[in-house]
Amino acid sequence: MIKIYDQRRKFLLQRLKQIGFGITVEPTGAFYILANAKAFCENNSFQFCVDTLMKTGVALTPGIDFGENAEGYIRFSYANSLENIAEGMDRLEKYLL
């Protein structure tokens, strides 16, 4: 499982960076990534996540759920299959770019 999660983590980090999300700290012991999304959502991470869900079917967690200092960030989980993560990233990239 460690190898599988590491593969998912590396894949998701690469895709998020390619799309334009900022990654300040790469996780080493968690199954999620907190990415800077200010280029896409400015100061309303909640609305960004709602819009993304409605238009792409991809569920994300808004940074504001983790406090004011996380506003403008989005939390991405990689606790799913690599195939589902890839599909979600494809949908997100098509929506944003």
Tens-binned pLDDT, residue by residue, of the chain (97 aa):
999 999 999 999 999 999 999 999 999 888 999 999 999 998 899 999 999 999 999 999 999 999 999 999 999 999 999 999 999 999 999 999 9
Q: How far apart (Å, rounded) are the C-alpha atoms in residues 92 and 3?
A: 25
Q: Give residue 29's pLDDT.
A: 85
Q: Give residue 61's pLDDT.
A: 98
Q: How far apart (Å, rounded) are the C-alpha atoms in residues 93 and 15?
A: 9
Give the amino acid at 72: G
Domain range for 16 is 2-96
CB within 8 Å of 37: residues ≥ 6 apart:
21, 22, 45, 48, 63, 72, 73, 74
Q: Give residue 97's pLDDT.
A: 92
- CATH code for the domain in which residue 22 is found: 3.90.1150.10
Count CB neighbours of 36 within 10 A: 18
Tally of domains in the chain: 1
Q: Give residue 14's pLDDT.
A: 98
